[in-house]
Amino acid sequence: MSSAAPNNHTESKNGETMLSARQLFCARDDRVLFKDLDFDLIEGQVLQVQGSNGSGKTTLMRILCGLNDNYEGSIKWYGQDIAEQAAGFFSSLLYIGHRVGVSKVLNPIENLRWSCSLLQAVSDEQIMNALKEVGLRGFEESPCYTLSAGQQQRVSLARLIISPARLWVLDEPFTTLDAKGVAQLENFLQSQAQSGGSVMVTTHHKLNIPQLNILSLG
């Protein structure tokens, strides 16, 4: 595929650069997904990654989270290599991928109890409130295989409410949501940005958020 250029280098009014990527290069099966990719993610910013299907959006997200190491270039977290900062980086990171990390045999409460507790101490009350907020009231005790894809997505989105993570990396979080869910998620992204956190999100959806910046791939 063709190379990518950062579309929009942002106003740095909000504060420090959280994540900065320089000269990122990634190829898969002799196909260059992106090269010389530079971008900064600043506190209080929502960065939407755009690109056609197969342009490497998911790969980029996974590279940033350290799930994929088939790349060249540097990624820094507050100016330091992620490898040196691993504990700090991972305790500030919340990633929701295509596979949302919701076990089908467990119910939403049990799922969140585990996935949240990897990051922070969490009470059942917090979980119940978060589930109520994402519209899963009444489904708290249903095994997740009885829930629809959108509802399972909502279970994973409940983590956004509970989590203190400063950096959200969300890969196609809008796909299965209904209109109301989309609006709600936009609100979440906005309030994360307002509180000084940052979001990287891939979606084909047109986001309606003031702090939005766009990174185009491919």
Residues that bind other proteins (CB under 8 A): 65-70, 86-87, 90-91, 93, 95, 97-106, 110, 113-115, 117-121, 143, 164, 166
The residue among 149 and 183 lying less far from other proteins, judged by its C-beta, is 149
The whole-angstrom separation of Cα 52 and Cα 37 is 16
Of 87, 27, 11, 105, the C-alpha closest to 60 is 27
The dihedrals phi and psi of 99, each to the nearest 5 degrees, come to -90, 115
The whole-angstrom separation of Cα 186 and Cα 165 is 17
The residue among 80 and 91 lying less far from other proteins, judged by its C-beta, is 91
The residue among 49 and 65 lying less far from other proteins, judged by its C-beta, is 65
The residue among 113 and 205 lying less far from other proteins, judged by its C-beta, is 113
76 neighbors 82 (Cβ within 8 angstroms): yes
Min dist. Cβ of residue 5 to other proteins (A): 27
Write the CA distances from 107 to 57, 101, 114, 135, integer angstroms.
Answer: 30, 13, 11, 15
102 burial (CB, 10 Å; 0-12 / 13-18 / 19+) is buried
The residue among 147 and 212 lying less far from other proteins, judged by its C-beta, is 147
Min dist. Cβ of residue 212 to other proteins (A): 24
Min dist. Cβ of residue 124 to other proteins (A): 13
Min dist. Cβ of residue 71 to other proteins (A): 11
177 neighbors 153 (Cβ within 8 angstroms): yes
The residue among 116 and 212 lying less far from other proteins, judged by its C-beta, is 116
Which residue type does 170 have? L
Of 99, 51, 40, 107, the C-alpha closest to 74 is 40
Min dist. Cβ of residue 132 to other proteins (A): 21
Min dist. Cβ of residue 144 to other proteins (A): 9
